[in-house]
Amino acid sequence: MKRLAEALLLGACVYAVFAGVARADTSASKIALSNNYAGNSWRQQMLKDYEAVAKKAVADHVVAAADAFTTPDKEAPTQASQIQNLILQGYNAIVIDAASPDALNGAVKQACDAGIVVVSFDGIVTEPCAYRVVIDYKEMGRQNVIHMAKFQPKGGNLLEIRGLAGTSIDGEIHDGIVEGVKEHPEFKIVSSVTGNWDETTAQKAVATVLPSLPPIVGVVDQGGDGYGAAQAFAAAGRPEPTIIMGNRQDELEWWKEQKEKNGYTTWSASVAPGLSTLAFWVAQQVLDGKKDVPHDLTVPYLEFNQNDFEAALPSIPKGGVASKQYTQADATAAIEANQKKK
């Protein structure tokens, strides 16, 4: 019996190694998601992706728990309190979509000091002890203008729609757009509104400023606002500008309709909401003892152009956003790729 038990144990270990699943080291660990906002399609898809991957990880005994928590408001102090509660609840890792790059640093440091692994994504934190799964948002903002120059080579006036105020994402994309305009002085940003990455909010904000604006050739934005902007221009009877899109189903559907009608051309880009699942697996890998994980891991954003967006459209849920659920192997590959860069 003893030999049989040893053989079974050895077989289980070999299976775990070949399956690429770390069962022994993290099966008792608990990972929590701290999210500060769920008021748009991107955040809602992000939570759905996290839940799907987390549930399977628990069912497969990779981790003991992988719960998601969303604050009732957008305020950083509320999320800081949430993180402190998660520390007290005994989580081994906390994955954070942060309300602010620096306002949560005190709570994050408390978590690190308690031996908890902290991985921020999307909205990142700057506390050095935390890991950051990041998109080059500044470059994505710059690409707004680079692509706009292809569609509007003569230049002209631009309307900027910004995201959730105070977040690192909003600041970085805005900085990239400003840099892009410096490289292409034929463009001028004549107005900037806040859209919160939400179509309804963006539509109202654009509708409010349009009557006072000169002719607009293009709209540069951050995602979740393209369709709202299009509706505002149509309601105001203004000429259809080139609107950069953000991978939302309603935006891409509108783009398809306009392309069929008049050959409308644009570009679409956003971070995949499933980035939360990549952050989850990075946390699991750190808990599992993976060595030399860089504290800053850069991964590509998801983009569509004139030739490929229509093929992706049927797979995006109505009212949703294009996404990807990452695997443990994806996390390992991202870690290794960033190790080589370092």
User: What pLDDT, on a 0 to 100 scale, did the predictor assign at position 111?
Assistant: 98
Residue 84 lies in a domain: yes
User: Cα–Cα distance between 283 and 290 in angstroms, integer?
Assistant: 10
* pLDDT profile of the chain (342 residues), mean per 10: 37 38 74 94 95 98 98 95 98 96 97 98 96 95 98 98 91 97 98 95 98 98 95 97 97 97 97 96 96 94 95 93 96 95 74
Q: Give me the pLDDT at residue 9, please.
A: 37
Task: Say if CB 23 and CB 46 are below 8 A apart.
Answer: no
Q: Quick check: 227 and 199 in contact, CB under 8 A?
A: yes
In one letter, which amino acid is 5?
A: A
The last residue of a domain, from among 270, 289, 310: 270
Residue whose pair of structure tokens reads 């993976």 in the numeric block: 290
Is residue 21 within 8 A of residue 331, CB to CB? The reply is no
Residues 288 and 194 in one domain: no
Tokens in use for 48? 């759905």
Can you give the length of the chain in residues? 342
31 & 100 share domain: yes
Write down the pLDDT at residue 1: 38
pTM of the predicted model as reported, rounded to 2 decimal places? 0.81
Same domain, 261 and 277: no
327 and 232 in a common domain? no
Domain shared by 225 and 108, yes or no: no
66 neighbors 54 (Cβ within 8 angstroms): yes
Is residue 124 assigned to a domain?
yes
Which residue type does 10 have?
L
Same domain, 130 and 143: no
Distance CA 77, CA 164 (A): 16
Sign of CA dihedral 170, 171, 174, 179: negative
Residue 151: its pLDDT value, please?
Answer: 98
Residue 3 in domain: no
Q: How far apart are the first and last CA of the chain?
A: 50
User: Which contiguous run of DSSP H or E holds residue 131?
Assistant: strand 131-134
Regarding whether 165 and 120 lie in a shared domain, the answer is no
CA 196 from chain centre, in angstroms, equals: 14
The residue from 230, 248, 270 where one domain ends is: 270
Angle between helices 76-88 and 105-113 (to 10 degrees): 10
What tokens does 217 get? 């050739």
Give the domain CATH number at 67. Answer: 3.40.50.2300
Are 130 and 144 found together in one domain? no
Q: Is residue 296 part of a domain?
A: yes
| Residue 206 in domain | yes
Together in a domain, 115 and 201: no
SS3 85: helix
Tell whether 123 and 184 lie within a shared domain.
no
pLDDT at 5: 38
Rounded-to-integer distance, Cα 108 and Cα 111, Å: 5
Q: Please report whether residue 9 resides in a domain.
A: no
175, 288: one domain: no
| Cα–Cα nearest to 49, from 302, 278, 308, 315 | 278
Q: The domain containing residue 189 runs over which residues? A: 137-270
- DSSP letters spanning 40-58: SHHHHHHHHHHHHHHHHHH
Q: Say whether both 86 and 207 belong to one domain.
A: no
What whole-number distance in Å separates Cα of residue 317 and Cα of residue 102?
34
pLDDT at residue 13 in the model: 41
Residue 210 belongs to some domain of the structure: yes
Structural domains counted in the chain = 2
**Which pLDDT does position 39 carry in this prediction?**
87
62 belongs to a structural domain:
yes
